[in-house]
Amino acid sequence: AQSVTQLDSQVPVFEEAPVELRCNYSSSVSVYLFWYVQYPNQGLQLLLKYLSGSTLVKGINGFEAEFNKSQTSFHLRKPSVHISDTAEYFCAVVGSNQGGKLIFGQGTELSVKP
């Protein structure tokens, strides 16, 4: 079975500052890792995903994440945030043999202030 822990429930940050949203996972099998963003009363939008290969993954809207197998982490980063990045962010994991059964972290509310 897989599990995901997002270490921060809320992250307040000023506009144009860098941000890191932390995610740790556990799994007994190889995994695929994802970051999604959710705006109020909407579904989820994929920011980026790690399947294999390069551990640094670049996504949409200037976000990137680094897969660290030894630390079982997949932290999301952005060098300079905008007001429009204010949203809920979810880290998710699926075992490579689990056929799409995503397990989500608790979510991190990113609040960007002017």
Partner 1 sequence: GAVVSQHPSRVICKSGTSVKIECRSLDFQATTMFWYRQFPKQSLMLMATSNEGSKATYEQGVEKDKFLINHASLTLSTLTVTSAHPEDSSFYICSAYGDTEAFFGQGTRLTVV
Binding residues vs partner 1 (CB under 8 A)? 32, 34, 36, 41-46, 49, 51, 90, 92, 94, 99-107, 109
Q: Around 15, how many Cα atoms within 13 Å sit in the side-chain half-sphere?
A: 5
**Closest distance of CB 7 from partner 1, Å:** 14
- Looking at the Cβ atoms of 15 and 103, the one nearer to partner 1 is 103
Residue 53 or 114: the one with the smaller Cβ distance to partner 1 is 53
Cβ proximity to partner 1: between 10 and 70 the closer is: 10
The encoded tokens of residue 68 equal 């660290």
| Residue at 26: amino acid letter | S
Q: How far apart are CB 80 and partner 1 at their closest, in Å? A: 26
Q: What is the DSSP string of 43-100?
A: -EEEEEEE-SS-SEEE-GGG-EEEEETTTTEEEEEESS--GGG-EEEEEEEEETTSTT
Provide, rounded to whole angstroms, the least separation between the CB of residue 79 and partner 1.
25
